[in-house]
Every structure is written in structure tokens, then in C-alpha cells.
Structure 1
Amino acid sequence: MSQLETYLEKRDFDATPEPSAAGAPSRLGLRYSIQNHRATRLHWDLRLEWDGVLLSWAITRGPSFDTAEKRLAVRTEDHPLSYLGFEGQIPPGNYGAGTVMLWDIGWWQPLDPVARGLKKGHLHFRLHGRRMTGDWNLILMKGRKPGDAKRQNWLLIKSDDEAAGQRDPVRRYTRSVATGRTFDQIKKDDAPVRPQRDGRLPGHVAPQLATLTDDLADPDSHWHELKLDGYRALIALGKGGPVVFTRSGLDWSDRFAALLPSFDDLDCDSALIDGEIVAGAGLQGFSALQDAIKAGGPFGFVAFDLLSLNGDDLRDRKLTERRKALEKLMKPVPPMGALQLSPIVEGDPQDAFDTVCRAQGEGLIAKRRDARYRSGRGTDWLKIKCRRRAEFVIVGWQASSAAGRPFASLALAAREGGDLRYVGKVGTGFDEGAMDDLAARMRPLTRKTAPVEAPKSETRGVTWVTPQLVAEIDYAELTAQGRLRHAVFLDLREDKPADQVRIEREVPMSDGERIAGIAVSSTDRVIFPRPRLTKGDLARYYDRIAPAMLDEAADRPLSLLRLPEGMEGERFFQKHPGKGFPDALKTVEITEKDGEAEPYAYVTDAAGIVGAVQMGTVEFHIWGARRDRVERPDRLVFDLDPDEGLKFAEVKSAATDLRDRLADLGLACWPLLTGGKGIHLVIPLRRTIGWDTAKLFCRGVATLMAQHQPKRLTAQMSKARRTDRIFIDWLRNERGSTAIAPFSVRARPGAPVAMPVAWDELSGIRSASAFGTDAAHERGWQGVVRPELQTITQGVSEALERAFDEIS
């Protein structure tokens, strides 16, 4: 007996518009719908795709998000899959005569085996509809067995989850989810009622990008969000929208057409929403998203920023303000639906990061709470990865000896500077469909010459292709020779042009020029365009300046700011040196707050500094203690950080005032131009106090200065308190904090140097970035008087207390 025999017997298809065709199964996932049926009695028909048909129940009072409600759901005949989106008027005299409204549509996800659930009389499932979301139960009432031919009464009950407790959907939704029509409009066969937005449709904006780092951010200044595994997308709402823009500005609205109706629920005239498109309906991972694109869905969108709303540009507002506006915009969206807000990890993010990594997730994104939205890559957003994943360009394939297998492996390259660098092959991760698709795509790109320099011993037999295809690759590490280890193919990336693919970490190549005894590769790669400084120039500068730099930087734990591709590429901070660093860059084990020991880099000679440059380091940041006694600081630093718009003359004046105040307390200091906007005042210390004492004292001095000159100075980091003021940053004086090393080049336009100067010349200096590498090498410590070692004595502390008494 056909599963649809009852359905077909009850209907005269010459008289009813209902479909008679069986319909095609979904290509990916299981479809679901609810039809609101105004027949003899108003009811809601639940349809769940399974085994080639739609399992059907008539819910007499409609679904409820109240977990205490048990709604009667009468099992009816199975319907054809073609009935999924049916809407229309069934004429009088026909079975089910009345008006049918498509009330909800989407996907459903069984949470327990369906066959077993039908047999036992308990289906547990999750709905991914436009209106109905979350977990549900269908439970067969006592008195009927699942196999009985007679009427089966089930109960539809909402599970207690994030979607529970919403407004009554029966009262809330009275129009078709597909056409926007009421029952009367459907009965009269009126045209669909489409939601209209009158606001001007926003154009593409280059998105803000995160800088790779190896450590979680300070939760006081940042919050953390999940790093997602999908396509970055900007959703433009307005007249003529919605439009889906990729990161590079391509219009991919057609590829994600199934997702676009979900944005109809957002109440606005126009908006530009930043987020990530992911696989929907419970599917996970980038490969699942690729499958969803081929199948036309399901999709999900995770929103994490709002760039404009109703014509107002929000990019200059703080992240916290933009998030508040985004939350308000997203409020009508049902929880656990296709549109979601990116969840925020408040407080210590370590547990969340560990959980994500154990679950084979991507990692976390840290975002500075008070930062504005800025296109391009910067350090206001940081990404902390659980594992290595990156895009590489396909440059060829190796033939396979296995029958029916179009290739054995793919040859890959990564752009480093302006050149492609061969990084090895990937031979796993392909299924049959992926291999056939790749072979078809590569065939017309075949070329006779190699597009990349590669050893013949590694590429013998490779068929070369023009580098146009971009592959997402999971790998263990990059070897010292710059080859991928344990590479696994994930999928193609079509949202990123091949010429924009950049490797995230520098690949050490063959021996190059030897500087300070270190083989420096790619010495002609341009790091700074103006003035033009190559990687070789930078290494030679650090070799020459090393004697002066080591006076302060030697034997201190370091944090390194690396820019492997120069100013135009990615940048990331690194506390713990990884594999591939030259041995000249030494390491010391330091116990962290959690009690675990981690390796920190330090240098003792020019080779160590140049070894860091070989790995892409531009900036060197130093601890306030030496590696042999990390609990005893030997320098204090006050960082004078001016608000935007303040002139450097005001910073110099503040530095002189702070110097005089410290002198009154019995301490001498010397000034360091940071190479940015501010000045550091450095106090050399004998190693007689701990970090708590140092931090408390520095906070006291900063607070004293701020109370004495509240209109000019502040001791609070809050952006609101820093308006038109200079922030005296005393937080650098705690364990693990760093400050820029004297003579370090800064990763800023113009390649300025953090430069020690004499007090008597400070008044004639025009900016904190006044010195470049040539001037720094010529000057060194010349003319700079560094005081003898001091300490915070009882007398110094008492003098600070008296100063507070005088102000009060």
C-alpha cells in the first residue's frame, strides 16, 4: 500500500488545487511546514518530511511556547512532499474545504531516531522555522498504539529551552509567512503583500578584520565572541533589498536567497548588519555550508555588529552602543531561529575557549568594548584560534594511480609579500564529489609552466594550473622549510579572490642573507612603503642598534608584534614563541596566574633580536623585570597617552609636571618618545619591592596628578573620562604587562622609533614619532641621562601621602 494512498483517495484533483505529485525529497536536511487551515474548524497542520512523505498532525488550538501547555495534535494521513508550501482555497464540497494559509516553513531536526519515536509514540525534535523554533515533543496519548489505523491523538509540548516562553504565536502571526496575506486575501486570491522598506539601501563597506594573537584579551577592556566557521557577510536592508555582500563586496544574494525572507521581521527602513552566514538547521562546519549553498539551504546568520540604521552611520560609535542598537533591532527575531545574535562571553574567557577547543571549534574573537568600527585589519579585534586553518591557492595536482581517482593530491601556495611561495601538498579530506568538482574546475586552468618556484624533487609529475582556486586547509604546522604538515582539505573558498590570499604566519624559506649570524629570508620584502624599509633593512637596523637596545631590553621577557607580510598584511602579538623560531631567540619558563608554566622569549644579543625579525617581528615590548627575578620589577613606567586631537606640546608639558612631582617624592626618571602619540617616563629601580607595591604606588601618583589637574589629566582608562585629557597609564606596572622597548621600531606609517631623549631637548621636539631608524642609530643613548637605581622607600610613600593631604 502506498503511503499516499489515503491522501489520493480523499481528493478529486480536478476540483481541488492541492498537489497530486509526490514531490522531490530535500537535497539537504528535512523540510517542515505548518499550514493554518480555516475549514469546518480552524486548526494548524504540522508537516514533517520523512521517508518520502510529509508526516501530518492537525493541532486543534495551534502550537504554544508555554511548556505547561499540552496541545492536542491529531495524526492525519501522510501528505506528499509537494504539499510543503501549499497555500490556497479548497472549494466547497471537497475534502478539507476552506482556506489554507502557509503559516510557517523551515527545517526540522530529529533529536532521537524517528523510526523508534514513531514506534514508541514519542517524537523529540527541533524546529528551525521562520516562526517556530526550539525543541518540541509529540507524545501519543494512552489508548492507541502507534500502528493503529484509527484516529491517533498526540500531544504537542514545548521543551524548556531558550525559545520557550515567547508570545502566543497563534495571536502573533495572522498572515502567511510566504505571501503576507490574510485568510480573506488568500480566499480572494489577492496578490502577495510584500514587506516594503523605504530607506536607502546601504552600499558595501569593507569589514573590520581581526588580528591574530596567541592569548586571550583582558576581559575588563574586551569581550569575547565565538569565532564562526562560515562566510563573512554584510546584510543590506532597504529599498531594493535585502542584499548579501561578501567580505570583498560581491553580491551573493542569489546564493543565499532562502535566508533573505528571515530579515522581513526586522523593523527598520534600512540597515547594514555585519555577521557570518553559517550552515543552518543544526548542520555544522564549513563543508556543511558548502553543501547548503549547492542545495539552496538551510542557512543561518549570526549578527555581531550594526554599521548603519535608518540612514544613521553608527561606525563612529562605541562597540557597546552599536551592540545595544543591534539587540534592539533583532528583538522581534525568535530565539534559536535562522537569525541569531552572536553570544558574548563575559568575564574570564578561558573556560569558554577551552570548551570551544575541546569541541573542535574555531576559537574566540576578542573585541575592544569602547572601540569604533574601522574597516581593515587592526588590533581592536583579535582572533585566538584553537587550531591552524587558512586559505591556500591551488597551483597544481598530482596524478593518481588509483582507478577512478582524478588526482592524488593538490599542490598549494601562499602569497608572501608580492610572491607566491610553494607550501606543499594536500592529499586527504576529499570525498568523491569534491574530487570530481575540483578536477572539472582545474581542467580549464591547466598550464605548461609552474606559477610558483618549487623544488623539482617535490613536484615531479605535477600538472600546473593558473592560481585562481582557493582552498580552505586544516593543518598541524608549517615546518622550518615552509611546508604544511598533516594537511587536510576542507573545501573551496569562493568568497576570497586568489590574489588576496595571505598566509597568516611567515613560512621560513631557504637560507638568505646572514645578519648577526642569522639567515634572514626574503630580505627584499617591503615592510614599510614610506620610507621604504625592507625586511633586510629592518634586520640590519636592529643589528646595528642592538648594543644600545640591549641596555634596557636584555634578559627581559618579551611580547613580539609580528607583521610577516609587512604593513599591508596581518599583524599579531605573540608572547610564547612557537616552532620555527631561531635558537638565538631564547626562552624562559614563567609560571602564569593559573599555575601553569609557559615559555617566554628573551634576548641577550643581536642574534636574538634579528632572529625575531626573521620571523616577522617589527615591535619589541619588554617586561618591567628581568628573567632571573620576575617577581621584582627593576623599572617603573608612566605612559602619557593623549586623547585624539591634543597637541604634543600638552603631552610634553604633562611629562615635565609629572617629572617634577616624582622629584618632589624623591624619584628621578628619564623620558622615552613612544614613536606613537605619547611619552613614557621611566624610573630605574633597585629590586627591593614586589609588583603589588609597584602598582599601588604608580596608581597613587597617577591619581594625585589627575586630582591636581583634573581638566588636563586622568588616571582612568574609560574613554569617557579621557575626552580632551591625557591618560596617565599606570597599569603597565603589574606582573606580565609590557612597554615598548627603547629603540624599537613601531608598526606605524613612517617607521618611527621609540626614542630616549634628554630632558633639556624635549621642549624642542615636535612629535612623539620624530625619529626614524637612521637618526636612532646615530644618536643611541647620546645625551640621555638615566638616573641611578632607586627604590620606593618609606620616605617616598610618606611624601606621597603628604601630597594627597595638601590637595584635600
Structure 2
Amino acid sequence: MDGPRSSAAKGPTDGAAAAPRRTLTYADALEGARRGPFPDEVEPQLATLVTGPPQGDGWLYEVKFDGYRMLAQLRGGRVTLLTRRGQDWTERFASVRDDLARLPAREAVLDGEIVIVGPDGVTDFQALQNALSDGNDGREGRLMYFVFDLLYLDGRDLRDCAQVTRKRALEALLEEAPEEGTLRYTEHLEEDGAAVFQHACKLGIEGVIAKRPEAPYRSGRGSSWLKVKCGKRQEFVIVGFTEPTGARQGLGAILVGVNRSGKLAYAGKVGTGFTNKTRTTLRSRLESIERAKPAFAGAPRMRGVHWVEPELLAEVQFSAWTRDGRLRHPSFEGLREDRTPESVTVEREQPPPAPPPRKAAGAPSKAVSAARSKGAIEAPGKAPRGGRGGAERIEVAGTRLTNPDKVLYPAQGITKLALAGYYAQIAEHMLPYVAKRLLTLVRCPAGQGKPCFFQRHEAEGLSEAIRRTLVEEDDGTRTYLYIENTEGLVSLVQMGALEMHIWGSRVDRIEQPDMMVFDLDPAPELPWERVAEAAKTVRHLLETLGLRSFVKTTGGKGLHVVVPIEARRRWDEVKPFTKAVADALVRFDPARYIATLSKAKRTGKVFVDYLRNGRGATAVAPYSTRARPGAAVATPLSWDELDAPLDPASFTIETVPQRLAAIADPWAELPTVRQSITSAMMKQVGL
């Protein structure tokens, strides 16, 4: 690897007062730490690509970020950011540099990935590329440095420490970073790898990284870090481009190659994934490196091809390789500047390692014990944190909370303990609608605004208070989750669930729904009054059919109109009924309502979403928080409340308990309502 280049960045601003520093002397207590000089040059540890998550226990899982790998050196108040190749990119990420300079350490080496996080919490490599090319640090999303390892700290080399030991020390260090800054600790899960991987893919994440918790940090590619990708994706060398056709501008497609047996070989043509701006700017760069003949042997014969020097690298997603070494369904993701053309080869997946033999029950390893020891992870003078070894045991409703002071909603400062307390407080109001219903959870282990994932199936390590039941799916029988009591509700908070979504049926009659939901989703420009009017119109339409309904906020701008029914009809009868009701509303006022998914046609309208009423579909539970800025709660309302101005964001974990203590439960009568979808109703809506 090339050594680091010359310049080291200064602190936040010239002349600014340096942040006060303290020595994190607990580094001395970390098992495996040794005194050593500052490592001016570190080759990063790399993960081996495998076909699937490793089986068995003994792994921890992190999100595979979609950005630039970056080693950060902090020394004497000066920060240097280095790519995998040792390129100095400090000035490209000034905000990250400034936040690192404020950490309470004299010397440190951190390993992580710089990304752009979109509003959905998923990292976006193309948005990061656009930010770099535009000279800004995150206009299309939030730029962050997710740090997953700590290699050196104040005179101590930590590379021989266990993975979990290094992560605990890293977490303690980053606790001093400002909440509103760019630095984030990379959380991990110690659950069933297949389940973690599946949910990561559903969320649109690139994949997961599996790491051995007891392993040291070793430069280069090894077996203690594994990567599992949700799709095929890697770097390719750009070897040419074609002229645009039709309405396209700039270029039509790029031609790419890969090194095979030490020689550059053609791999195919990539024509999708470009924005108009990218096509134009990329053509300009490629024209500057044009050459008369291809830079490889066996080039295909094409008209209008421009060959280029093999200097630029493209990140490409694709579905498979053909037998003759071409890419199937390739799509351009962005340019990569942190690797050399010579390093680009075909990524070969290895089979995951076999599960290790089971160890006899007994004491944990020295490495894990050291990592769990409070003295190894707490800075001197800090109060002990609940849930760690040697710390005070904290329970809420019979559920032990680990890290109860972990902040789950940074903007509001809401901790895990506060959120657990909220659910325990409103459980009597929430459980009638949530208990014994299959769940889909939005889990955010690191808190709101950081990567989250969906979970609906069983995973290892879940509390016994979270019940399991078998459900038939298209590809076989799967184990789903539900709860029955307050302990189960709080257990969901312990596992990092910030949203709870429920089926419209109960576990004892899964195939017969007892609840219909009409989700009213307004176009962004519509005021609250239009949403309230839509809900009242749906209510009136349902009343003409003889059905009583209830209303609640969703934690966003929309409203849910909820209809309790007897569990008699099956999903394939209830869903068409709700579609017919939605279609009737659109016929009543097509200028105000729409019942199709087309976002292009929603301008000025309220989308009447009946799709919540299909088998396997869910709706956010009453009184559930949302994994969104503001920590709003989906809150039942009385119909009269829609007649006055109302801000759905005002319903929070602080205000909802106060509201329930001050007013009668708006849904108190819902569990007592007895009504069914009759044959006469079906005929009225045209079924």
C-alpha cells in the first residue's frame, strides 16, 4: 500500500480555541493493549466475500456501508483522513476532520466508512459521489463517518485486543462526540446471521459484515471478517464509451473490463444507472483520456466506440456473469477513486466457514470477559451505565434493559429507558390492539437516523416474552413474532424496535382479519385540513354501508381510518372490499382522491391506500412511536378532534400519557363494536 501523503489537516478553524482534552487512561486496562509508537502507516483489514452468512454462533454483524473506507489519524490535535490506498482525503471531508479533532484523545487511529445517509436511513454511494463532485459534503443527504474500529489510543496499540474489546473502547470514545456531528459508532447485532442478512436486503442495504468477536485486527484479507452482499456488485475498469442515442446526452454507455490472469479483459457494456448530469460530466473526463485503440486484446467490434486509457474505475451492480465473462443487467453506481485499475479482479465468493464445535458451558473467554468489564470500557469519573457487567441491574416491567441510557432519538434526547417507561405506562391502552397480533418491527439498534431494518421472523437471542407462532408462506413455514403482555411490549424496546406494525388479524385466526385500515396519505403540499376532510368523508361512506369506524394519526401527516369487524371473512374477500370502498371515494371526487400507487398522479390529492388489508400487510400500531425525526406517536383520536386545527407531531411519548390521563380514551368503545361485512354491503360496492 502507498504510504500516507504529506499534509495533515489542522483543527476546525485557524485561531479557534482547541477543545479541552483528557487522557482516556482506561486504554491501559484493555486486555491485549500494548505500549507502542504511533502507527504512521496502517494497512486496513479487509473482509472476505462469502456466499452466505456463516452458520452458528460466534459472530457479530454490522451493516455493510455503501461509501468510502477511511482510516482516521488523530495526533496532537491534527487529523488526517486516508483511503485504503493511503490517499490523503482530509480536505474533501472537512466536517469529519473537524469533529474528529474534538475527540478527547491525544492520539488515535480509527477505522470506518464515510457515507451519505438518506432520509430512509440507507447509505447511498451515488449521492456521496455527487456530493464530492459538487464540492459539498452532503447536500443530497447527511454525510457521516461510521466508525467500526479503534486501532490505537494514547500510546497504546489496540490491534491485538479482541474485536469486542476494541469496539467497547471505541464506543466510550465516541460518546464524547457531539450528537449533531458527523461521527457515529457502528452498532452490531449478535443474532442469527441469516435473519440479519435477510432484513438488511429487504431494507435496501448493500449487505452485512460478519466479524469474530474474539479476533485481533489483522491487516489484509482474512477469515475473521466476512462480507455477504445482497446482490453482485464490484469495481470495473472503464475501457471505452459509446455515443448517445435518442434523447440521451453525453454518452450512451460505458465499456468496462476486469483483470483476469494478470491481463485486462472485456466485461461488457453498462448503459443504465446514469443521471443526465453524470453522462455529461463523465463524457468530459473520458474524452480527456481517449486513445486510438483498445487497451486490451479481444475487443468487440462496435460502431461509434471511443476507447480510453484504463484509468477510471466504475462501481457496477449486476445480476450475474454470463459464460463468456460478460455482465448481466449491469447498472452504474458511481466512480471509485480509492482503488487502482491493477487491483480490479473478478470477486470470487467463498463458501462461509462451517460452524465451530459447541463449547461446553462455562465461563466466557478472557477476551469477552475483558470487553464486558466496566473498568475496560468506562472513562475515569463517568457514571456506570446500566446493563453492563458490574453496573446496576435496571428492569422495566420484568424486562432487563441493557444500555438503558443509550440515546435512541438524538434530537429529543430520548433514551432506551425513557422509551421503555413510556410503553410500560400506556400498555393498558395499547395492548388491546397489539396483543396476539403478528408483528413487523422496525429495529434501529443505533437509534433514529441511523441504519434500521425490518424484522418479522424469529431470530436468536430474543426474549421469551416475545412469543412465536408458525405461519405458512409461499416458500414454506416460518416463525413469526407476537406479544401478549407489558413485558413483551418492553422487550421490543430492549431489542431496539422504534416502530411496531401489526397484522389485521389475531394469531388464533390468522386467515380471518378482524380489522380494516384505510391509510390516507396526502400529497406533500396538502394542509392538515384536507387530510381531516378525507378521513371524515371515508367515515361517512362507511356509515352509508352500515360500518362504524375510528381514526388515528400515523406519526406522520396522514391518518388511518380503522374499521373493526368480526373475524369471519378471509383476506381474499376483505381486501377487494376495501379496494371497492377506495374506488368509490375516487369516483365521488377524482380531483381530490386517488387509489393507485402512482406518485406522479398524486399532486394535490390524498392517496387512499387499501393495500394494508392484504395477507401479510401491516399498519403502524396505535400508540407506537415512529423511527422518524421528532419521535411522534401514532395516536387514536375522537372524530370531534378533526374539526379543529391539529398538529400530529405534537403527540409524543411525553404528551400521550398526559393526554390519556386527562381525557377519556377515544377508542374505549372499539373493542365492543360487533359488525361484519355482509353480502348486502358487498353488493353495494359492486362485488
TM-score (norm 2): 0.50
Q: Which amino acid aligns with 1:731?
A: L
**Does the CA contact (< 8 Å) of 2:519 and 2:559 recur in 1?**
yes
Taking a change above 3 Å as real, the CA distance of residues 411 and 279 of structure 1, as seen in their structure-2 partners, is farther
Distance 1:366 1:611 in 2: 41
Give per-residue Cα distances to partners, 1:452-484, cap 9 Å, x unaligned. 469xxxxxxxxxxxxxxxxxxxxxxxxxxxxxx
Match of 2:343 in 1: none
The yes-or-no answer on 1:770 pairing with 2:650 is yes
Match of 1:523 in 2: 404
Match of 2:498 in 1: 618
Match of 2:258 in 1: 280
Taking a change above 3 Å as real, the CA distance of residues 340 and 524 of structure 1, as seen in their structure-2 partners, is closer
The yes-or-no answer on 1:560 pairing with 2:441 is yes
Distance 1:386 1:569 in 2: 30
How far is 1:695 from its partner? Answer: 0.4
Distance 1:737 1:670 in 2: 19
Distance 2:582 2:622 in 1: 22
- Which of 510, 533, 541 is 2:422 aligned to? 541
Q: Which amino acid aligns with 1:528?
A: Y
Distance 2:270 2:377 in 1: 38
Distance 2:544 2:651 in 1: 31
Name the SS of the counterpart of 2:676 in structure 1.
Answer: coil
How far is 1:567 from its partner? Answer: 1.5
Match of 2:513 in 1: 633
Taking a change above 3 Å as real, the CA distance of residues 412 and 547 of structure 1, as seen in their structure-2 partners, is same
1:632-781 matches, cutoff 5 A: 632-780=512-660
Match of 2:291 in 1: none
**Does the CA contact (< 8 Å) of 1:303 and 1:342 recur in 2?**
no
Match of 1:460 in 2: none
Taking a change above 3 Å as real, the CA distance of residues 202 and 752 of structure 1, as seen in their structure-2 partners, is closer
Distance 1:412 1:208 in 2: 37
Taking a change above 3 Å as real, the CA distance of residues 585 and 644 of structure 1, as seen in their structure-2 partners, is same
Taking a change above 3 Å as real, the CA distance of residues 663 and 269 of structure 1, as seen in their structure-2 partners, is closer
Give per-residue Cα distances to partners, 1:556-615, cap 9 Å, x unaligned. 000011111112421111111311111111111111123x11111101011111111111
Name the SS of the counterpart of 1:618 in structure 2.
Answer: strand
Q: Which amino acid aligns with 1:650?
A: R
Match of 1:783 in 2: 666
How far is 1:783 from its partner? Answer: 3.4
Name the SS of the counterpart of 2:686 in structure 1.
Answer: helix
Q: Which amino acid aligns with 1:624?
A: G
Give per-residue Cα distances to partners, 1:315-335, cap 9 Å, x unaligned. xxxxxxxxxxxxxxxx9699x
Match of 1:486 in 2: none
Name the SS of the counterpart of 2:274 in structure 1.
Answer: strand
**Does the CA contact (< 8 Å) of 1:213 and 1:573 recur in 2?**
no
Report the identity percentage: 31
Distance 1:366 1:302 in 2: 6
Name the SS of the counterpart of 2:412 in structure 1.
Answer: coil
Name the SS of the counterpart of 1:620 in structure 2.
Answer: strand
Name the SS of the counterpart of 2:626 in structure 1.
Answer: coil
Distance 2:389 2:273 in 1: 37
Distance 1:579 1:215 in 2: 14
Which consecutive residues of structure 1, in runs of 5 or more, have no partner in the other structure?
Answer: 1-199, 230-257, 284-291, 315-330, 346-351, 356-363, 368-384, 390-408, 414-420, 425-448, 455-505, 803-808
Match of 2:682 in 1: 797
Name the SS of the counterpart of 1:262 in structure 2.
Answer: strand
Aligned residues: 407
Taking a change above 3 Å as real, the CA distance of residues 299 and 612 of structure 1, as seen in their structure-2 partners, is farther
**Does the CA contact (< 8 Å) of 1:691 and 1:734 recur in 2?**
yes
Distance 1:568 1:225 in 2: 15
Q: Which amino acid aligns with 2:677?
A: I
How far is 1:708 from its partner? Answer: 1.2
Q: Which amino acid aligns with 1:553?
A: V
Distance 1:225 1:542 in 2: 29
Distance 2:485 2:597 in 1: 36
- Which of 443, 466, 469 is 1:588 aligned to? 469
**Does the CA contact (< 8 Å) of 1:553 and 1:741 recur in 2?**
yes
Taking a change above 3 Å as real, the CA distance of residues 410 and 307 of structure 1, as seen in their structure-2 partners, is farther
**Does the CA contact (< 8 Å) of 2:243 and 2:305 recur in 1?**
yes
Which consecutive residues of structure 2, in runs of 5 or more, have no partner in the other structure?
Answer: 1-131, 147-186, 188-195, 210-234, 283-303, 322-328, 333-348, 354-364, 380-386
Q: Which amino acid aligns with 1:523?
A: P
Name the SS of the counterpart of 1:658 in structure 2.
Answer: helix
**Does the CA contact (< 8 Å) of 1:303 and 1:340 recur in 2?**
no
Match of 1:578 in 2: 459
**Does the CA contact (< 8 Å) of 1:214 and 1:575 recur in 2?**
no
**Does the CA contact (< 8 Å) of 2:520 and 2:606 recur in 1?**
yes
Name the SS of the counterpart of 2:586 in structure 1.
Answer: helix
Distance 1:602 1:767 in 2: 31
Distance 1:452 1:308 in 2: 50
Q: Which amino acid aligns with 1:658?
A: V
How far is 1:798 from its partner? Answer: 2.5
Q: Which amino acid aligns with 1:771?
A: F
Distance 2:351 2:599 in 1: 34
Distance 1:633 1:647 in 2: 33
Name the SS of the counterpart of 2:198 in structure 1.
Answer: coil
Taking a change above 3 Å as real, the CA distance of residues 533 and 332 of structure 1, as seen in their structure-2 partners, is farther
Name the SS of the counterpart of 1:584 in structure 2.
Answer: coil
**Does the CA contact (< 8 Å) of 1:511 and 1:519 recur in 2?**
no
Distance 1:660 1:590 in 2: 36
**Does the CA contact (< 8 Å) of 2:516 and 2:565 recur in 1?**
yes
Taking a change above 3 Å as real, the CA distance of residues 333 and 527 of structure 1, as seen in their structure-2 partners, is farther
**Does the CA contact (< 8 Å) of 2:250 and 2:280 recur in 1?**
no
Distance 1:637 1:654 in 2: 14
Bigger RCO (CA 8 Å, 6+ sep): 2
Which protein is bigger by CA-based radius of gyration? Answer: 1
How far is 1:764 from its partner? Answer: 1.8
Distance 1:593 1:386 in 2: 29
- Which of 199, 214, 218 is 2:198 aligned to? 214
Taking a change above 3 Å as real, the CA distance of residues 201 and 410 of structure 1, as seen in their structure-2 partners, is farther
**Does the CA contact (< 8 Å) of 2:457 and 2:481 recur in 1?**
yes
Give per-residue Cα distances to partners, 1:187-229, cap 9 Å, x unaligned. xxxxxxxxxxxxx9644665879997735989xxx9x898699
Give per-residue Cα distances to partners, 1:365-421, cap 9 Å, x unaligned. 999xxxxxxxxxxxxxxxxx99999xxxxxxxxxxxxxxxxxxx99799xxxxxxx9
- Which of 252, 270, 277 is 1:309 aligned to? 277
Distance 1:339 1:266 in 2: 19
Match of 1:399 in 2: none
1:305-454 matches, cutoff 5 A: 305-307=273-275, 309=277, 342=316, 422=371, 452=377
Distance 2:634 2:608 in 1: 18
Distance 1:509 1:270 in 2: 63
Match of 1:262 in 2: 239
Distance 1:737 1:386 in 2: 36
Taking a change above 3 Å as real, the CA distance of residues 707 and 366 of structure 1, as seen in their structure-2 partners, is farther
How far is 1:792 from its partner? Answer: 0.6
Name the SS of the counterpart of 1:631 in structure 2.
Answer: coil
Distance 1:604 1:313 in 2: 57
